[in-house]
Structure 1
Amino acid sequence: MRITKAILLVGGEGTRLRPLTLTTPKPMLPVAGYPITAHQIAKLADAGITEVMLATSYRAEVFDNWLANQDYLTIEIRVAVEQTPLGTGGAIRNAADQLGLEVGESVVVLNGDVLSGHNLKAQIDQYAASNAAGSLHLVSVPDPSAFGLVPTDASGRVTEFLEKPKTPAEIVTDQINAGCYILSFELVQRIAPGVPASVEREVFPAALADGVTMLGYLDNSYFLDLGTPFSYIQGSADLVQQIVPSPLIKSKSEAIIHPSAKIDPTAIIFGGSVISADAVIEAGAVVSGSIVFDSARVGAGAQLFDSILGAKSHLVEDLALTRVVISEHCQIEVEIPPGTRVWPDLALSAN
């Protein structure tokens, strides 16, 4: 069986990532110099996918603008817009219909906010060699109490989809859903068109109850949910340093620096940092594990650790900040505590 079609679920508003997602959908945020979506599409292409449908809702025009201007992904990419959010199930059905998924075909589905090093080709091969109607990438986690659980039997067949456990006795497995599915045409057709639905809570459990076979593909490679600003920062740094691979990142490095950025020779940049177009890093500044957006400025002697400095924002000289998120068009003149998020167009000064 050859699988050539895929769906990316990219319709969420990314509320946990605010203020970064006030103007940009979460999957369009840059990690290691490319949108999250681009890394996922490159991975799909590497696994033999030739046609991708982006299932969008929130700020869908941003995806259209990106597709019109990007030239590094050459497979067919289209956009399926939901006028009202349809949940994971409704989004899959809507996108599959627009892909023209037919009897005998299957489709790969990726959550749009997951960074994974798992072997998609191997998952496809396992599915193709089986008679299953679906396959889920599963990972084992040290503390599964915060996740829905997906137990499997000795043959790898999924036995249940369980909600987040409320007591230790309810933790019957350490396996969780890692957000990559392979679904047959028949399984997709179980989703009612145009109706909001959750595959995890409604479609998949109902399919199991009807005797449908779904396989778990257990791969404990790198897995990160990019749903918060600090996991997003970590994911970007891990891509730059190739802790997790991406076909778009050709070599391991301490930093990705845009050719138009202006870096003083005495500045130190490391830890998987990204310095974007027209950014300025002044004399003696230190940037580690951080993302400096377009036209932002890090002042002389300033230090930025595991943080985001938004577009056209300015961190003045000799300040040291750790684990902060500074949005666009901000002026930062005082130290702020770790964990702080600064909304756009703010000036923070001693006065």
Structure 2
Amino acid sequence: MTQAPAPVEAVIVAGGFGTRLLPLTARRPKHLLDVGGVPFLEHQIARLAAAGVQHVVLATSYHADMFEPVLGDGSRWGIRLSYVLEEVPLGTGGAIRNVAGALSPDPEGAVVILNGDVLSGHDLAGQLADFATPRDGRAVDVSLHLVEVADARAFGCVPTDAAGRVLDFVEKSENPVTRQINAGCYIFRRRVIDTIPTGREVSVERETFPGLVADGSLVVGFVDSAYWRDVGTPQALVDASVDVVLGVAPTPAVAAAPDGARIAVDAQVAPEAEVSGGSVVMAGAVIEAGASVLGSVVMTGAVIAADAIVRGSVVGPQARVGKAARVTGATLGDEAVIGDGAEVAEGERIDVGEHRG
């Protein structure tokens, strides 16, 4: 009697400290920051569920206690959601190995691995189908989602042969051997996870993948250049949120907003205020008369006072932008205060509780 294949499982590596996103991550993990109106991980979980994944394991560390109250047990996506704590930093590979006990023991099972800070619209179901297709009678050991970029000099490159087999992992170079780069979504054969060393920090990019290629394992690339963005910086977070609201970034988590903005039902927006350009205004936020919010994220309980202008920025929870103030391309931490008429310039970060102007 033929045994039914094990359900497809997934691991989301969500243990980073989010230092590139400070001050937004001073009080919460980056993976729960709002993108397009929902916590970022909801985009990833919804995409996994849509591709047929039935069990998702979150590998957590920083503020680990905050995940389950937000995401629950996975039932609203029709999946099972488990949580495994990483007590000391273990790197990407170490984090994957650390959750092995929460996965099915079937050695031939497929396990999708997602980096917890990448928003992607790529064909995950297609990658799973490609992973399940043998090459010359051999089962694929690992599949990597690859994207082609216009200029690969800032990235490590992943060259492949005509059959899609990964040939090497090449460090950053002024003369890249290919425009293909690692996009942060992998599919592991379950047995491969057990070969990752335990109890120490391991990088899949620098140690696991090159080691598998050197040992003759079948590592393939799945090239798909659909929407893809690393949301690891405040500006990238804003851009990703705008893309979700405007429908540029297709996601099963939320629909695009037909009027170009997503405003929580209990937010207060004055009729004379403007909220547009893919902006998100979260619960309890207040936008006063004459204020303009363009292409920005206004988080829970924040206040944009009368005649203020906020463009391309993140305004953290309970922060306040004073009357006729100007905030452009900036990041305001929790409870930050920008005084009346003050200006915050491109790239500035106002710390938690800091007063400016």
Q: TM-score w.r.t. structure 1 length?
A: 0.95
Q: 1:121 aligned to 2:125?
A: yes
Verify: 1:240 aligned to 2:245, yes or no: yes
Q: Is the 8 A contact 2:293 2:310 kept in 1?
A: yes
1:152 aligns with 2:156: no
Q: 1:251 to 1:233 in 2, by over 3 A?
A: closer
Within 5 A, what are the aligned runs for 1:2-41?
3-41=7-45
Aligned pairs for 1:195-210 within 5 A? 195-210=200-215
In the other structure, the counterpart of 1:308 is 314
Equivalent in 243, 261, 265 of residue 271 of structure 2: 265
Q: For residue 86 of structure 1, what is the aligned residue in structure 2?
A: 90
Contact 2:153 2:172 in 1 (8 A): yes
For residues 114-143 of structure 1, what are the alpha-carbon distances to aligned partners after superposition, in whole Å with 9 as ceiling and x for unaligned? Answer: 011101011111111122111000001111
Equivalent residue for 1:224? 229
Contact 1:283–1:299 (CA<8 Å) still a contact in 2? yes
TM-superposed CA distance for 1:2, in Å, is 6.6
Q: How far off its partner does 1:71 sit?
A: 6.9
Runs of at least 5 residues in structure 2 that lack an aligned partner in the other structure: none
Task: Name the % identity.
Answer: 42
SS class of match (1:144): coil
Please tell me whether the aligned partners of residues 337 and 356 of structure 2 are also in contact (alpha carbons under 8 angstroms). Answer: yes
What letter is aligned with 1:14? G
Q: Secondary structure at the match of 2:220?
A: strand
Question: After superposition, what is the alpha-carbon deviation per residue over 1:237-294, rounded to whole angstroms, capped at 9, x for unaligned?
Answer: 1011110111121244311100111111111111110101111111111111101111
Indicate conservation of the 8 Å contact 1:7/1:96, yes or no. Answer: no
CA RMSD, 1 decimal: 1.5
Contact 1:15/1:21 (CA < 8 Å) preserved in 2?
A: yes
Pair 1:188 & 2:179 matched = no
Aligned to 2:100: 96
In the alignment, residue 95 of structure 2 is paired with which amino acid? Answer: A
Q: Is the 8 A contact 1:3 1:107 kept in 2?
A: no
Instruction: Describe the superposition over 1:52-111 as per-residue Cα deviations: whole angstroms up to 9, x where unpaired.
Output: 000111111111332349874341111111111111111111113222342221200000
CA separation in 1, counterparts of 2:76 and 2:159? 39
Q: CA deviation at 1:176?
A: 0.4
Runs of 4+ deviating beyond 2 Å: 67-74, 250-253
Give a deviation string over 1:175-213, Cα, whole Å, max 9, x none.
Answer: 100000000022212202222211111111111111101
TM-score normalised over the length of structure 2: 0.94
Distance in 2, Cα, partners of 1:65 & 1:85? 23
Aligned to 1:294: 300
Deviation of 1:3 after TM superposition, in Å, equals: 5.0
Which runs of no fewer than 5 residues in structure 1 stay unpaired? none
- What is the match of residue 49 of structure 2? 45
SS of the equivalent of 1:136 reads strand
SS at match of 1:145: coil
The answer to whether the Cα contact below 8 Å between 1:190 and 1:203 also exists between their aligned partners in 2 is no
User: Match for residue 355 of structure 2?
Assistant: 347
| 1:19 maps to amino acid | P
One of 146, 149, 158 as aligned partner of 1:138: 146
Partner of 2:181: 176
Q: How many aligned positions are there?
A: 346
What secondary structure does 2:93 align onto? helix
Q: Secondary structure at the match of 2:343?
A: coil
The verdict on how the C-alpha distance between 1:69 and 1:99 changes in structure 2, with shifts beyond 3 A counting, is closer
Q: Do the aligned partners of 2:143 and 2:221 also contact (CA within 8 Å) in 1?
A: yes
